[in-house]
Amino acid sequence: MTVIRRLKLEKFKGVSQGEINLAPLTIIIGANNSGKTTILEALFLAPNPFRKVPYLVEGNDRAIRIVGALHKTLESEGYLFLLHNYTSKIAKVECEMDESPYLLELIRAFNFIYVSTNREIGDHVSIDGKEKRIIGRLDAQSSSRMDIKIEKPLIDDTLLLSSSLTKYAYEYLRMNWASIVNLGICRGAAEEASTFSNERYVDLTMEPFIGGTLSINAYRHDGARRRLGDLGDGVQGYIISRILYEIAQPKVLLWDDVEAHFNPRILLSISGWISELVEKGKQVVLTTHSLEAVRMIAGESQDKARIYLISLVDGTLNTRELTLQEVEELIEAGVDVRAAEPLL
């Protein structure tokens, strides 16, 4: 089993420097703006920012385009947000594994951000007098323009799940429905969702709704349809997550705010699923604000789980490993991890 044992970041997004050790199951908690999402986005981009993923933004299904869409603000777009304080000349994402370490570099030169790795692949380009192997190039100020040299994953593939990405998942499903529905994964996801719903679903369909517009529906055992978006955020999120995972089949699953919109019953099912993935040799890295979610998920995979409380101070990423017992004590004390930085 290949596991990313340590992630090191330098001048990447809000992190000036920092590292975190990773386990087969890593659970990260911390306040808002403490670096949790930054860690996941670094791991999501690491295999290759230009690879295709099961999301779609304006017809583009590249990993970097999806991350860029999450950060777009009004008319401001482009990829300068990847560089610390928007001004650093280079950002580094390093993954330490069983084999040689893997390094992804984002190098700014004029109005471009060149993407380089330490693998012997890509075009030779001289940047500021240094020879680099380039797998692609981004426009610093435009999200839509990129020059791709290599699009395959260069290390084990990763998949990022987040409620913020649901709308992009729907676009991907819409454009690829014919091939997806024939895989049989929609039926399985619908049937699983029935276990924590008052209705029994047997499959998913894509059909015209009122006015002829398309809708993805849950197909009930009695033949009735319900739009997926009307099932509630929890059931909808569960179904979408299961479908995306089966499409991508990643070696590393990343999940941001895993507890978002999930009631305890759904979260219990998620915990069991994550435990099964870890037992099968997959790696899972997730973030949450809920200590109850930490207890539930880590409790399913105690010997393979690590729990970290993190913070970001003046750009430096700080981490503290917690035991399940310490998590129990924090729960009993009524601690809100969103304000738990003094514990570091």
Tell me what pLDDT residue 308 has.
Answer: 96
Six-digit token string for 86? 């928007």
Q: How far is residue 238's CA from residue 218's CA, in Å, rounded to a whole number?
A: 13
Is residue 164 domain-resident? no
| Domain stop point among 122, 154, 186 | 154
Tell me what pLDDT residue 195 has.
Answer: 87
Q: How far is residue 166's CA from residue 161's CA, in Å, rounded to a whole number?
A: 8
What averages of pLDDT result for each successive group of 10 residues across the chain (344 residues)? 89 97 96 93 98 96 95 85 95 91 95 95 90 94 90 96 95 92 89 87 89 87 89 90 95 95 90 95 95 92 92 94 92 78 54
Is residue 165 domain-resident? no
Tell me what pLDDT residue 36 has.
Answer: 96
Is residue 160 domain-resident? no
Q: Is the pTM of this model over 0.85?
A: yes
One domain, residues 282 and 334: yes
One domain, residues 219 and 275: no
One domain, residues 110 and 195: no
Total residue length of the chain: 344
CATH number for the domain spanning 266: value is 3.40.50.300
Is residue 340 domain-resident? yes
Nearest to 153 by CA among 274, 248, 36, 41: 248
One domain, residues 300 and 228: no
SS3 262: coil
One domain, residues 199 and 116: no
Please, which residues bridge with residue 215 across strands?
Answer: 207
> At 180, phi and psi to the nearest 5?
-70, -45
Neighbours of 198 (CB within 10 A): 5
One domain, residues 141 and 187: no
SS3 224: coil
Tell me what pLDDT residue 182 has.
Answer: 86
One domain, residues 147 and 208: no
One domain, residues 118 and 42: no
Residue by residue, what is the 3-state secondary structure of 57-106? ECCEEEHHHHHHHHHCECCECCCHHHEHHHCCCEEEEEEECCCCCEEEEE
b/e for 28-37, b at 16 or more Cβ within 10 A? bbbbeebbbb
Contact present, 262 and 270 (Cβ < 8 Å): yes
Please return the burial class of 118, using the count of CB atoms within 10 Å of its CB with bins 0-12, 13-18 and 19+. Answer: middle
How many domains does the chain fold into?
3
Is residue 162 domain-resident? no
| Domain stop point among 223, 249, 275 | 249
One domain, residues 30 and 55: no
| Domain stop point among 249, 280, 314 | 249
Count Cα neighbours of 213 within 13 Å in the Cβ-side half-sphere: 4
One domain, residues 25 and 75: no
DSSP code, position 16: E
| Residue-range definition of the domain harbouring residue 149 | 49-154
Is residue 23 domain-resident? yes
Nearest to 266 by CA among 163, 336, 160: 163
Is residue 159 domain-resident? no
One domain, residues 282 and 256: yes
One domain, residues 84 and 142: yes
Is residue 163 domain-resident? no
Please enumerate in sequence order all residues whose Cβ is within 8 A of that of 214, keeping only pairs 6 or more positions apart, or say none. 174, 206, 207, 208
